């Protein structure tokens, strides 16, 4: 695997999505990465369940991302592409017939998130949208969309915060399974984070 990253206006905290430093000079980060994973046993690479045929997958993964921060405002963009080639296993079903090879999870995903740290407070309002799409018919990846808003309170920078989210999921990969926004499902979440 490998990654390159450019910071044309100089170094800044580009691994935290929020502009907690309230940068007076804009910070921009642009990055790209490639990873090759051979003989992956999980259906999501090193993660996920083992395919029923017990085979493996060789994955190629590409990511491109960008971040912009200034004066409490943040914008985070990302694009992901994955293509895998399956090697079927030799697992048999209860009738001693070979279990067909499961298709690799080939496809792409993209996301955008924007946030604003309210002046003289530690509160941030944020919104995001992301999508995962199947690359072609020969994939086990299901289309999924997510849109939502968030309110964050930072006790002490990014590792210590309370986050409240409202998210809407829709698409074939959602539990309701409809491609229409109106057929989606809602999620409310409150999270307390304390990282050391």
pLDDT tens readout for residues 23-50: 999 999 999 999 999 999 988 888 888 8
Low-confidence ranges of the chain (pLDDT < 50): none
- What are the structure tokens assigned to 68, written together? 């912009």
Query: Average pLDDT of the chain?
Result: 92
Distance of CA 21 to the CA centre of its chain: 24
Q: What is the pTM of this model?
A: 0.85
Phi, psi for 57 (deg, rounded to 5): -135, 140
Q: How far apart are CA 137 and CA 100, in angstroms?
A: 16
């Amino acid at each position: 695997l490998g990654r390159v990253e450019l910071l044309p206006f100089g170094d800044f905290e580009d691994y935290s999505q929020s502009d907690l430093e309230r940068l007076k000079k804009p910070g921009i980060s642009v990055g790209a990465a490639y990873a090759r994973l051979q003989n992956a046993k999980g259906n999501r690479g090193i993660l996920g369940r083992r395919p029923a045929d017990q085979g493996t997958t060789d994955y190629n993964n590409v990511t491109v991302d960008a971040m912009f921060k200034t004066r409490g405002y943040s914008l985070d963009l990302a694009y992901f592409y994955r293509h895998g080639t399956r090697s079927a296993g030799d697992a048999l079903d209860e009738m001693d017939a070979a279990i067909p090879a499961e298709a690799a999870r080939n496809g792409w995903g993209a996301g955008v998130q924007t946030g604003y740290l309210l002046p003289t407070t530690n509160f941030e309002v944020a919104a995001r949208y992301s999508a995962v799409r199947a690359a072609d018919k020969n994939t086990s990846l299901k289309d999924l969309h997510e849109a939502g808003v968030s309110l964050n309170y930072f006790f002490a920078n990014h590792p210590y915060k309370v986050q409240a989210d409202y998210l809407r999921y829709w698409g074939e990969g959602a539990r309701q399974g409809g491609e229409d926004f109106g057929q989606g499902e809602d999620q409310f979440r409150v999270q307390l984070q304390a990282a050391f």
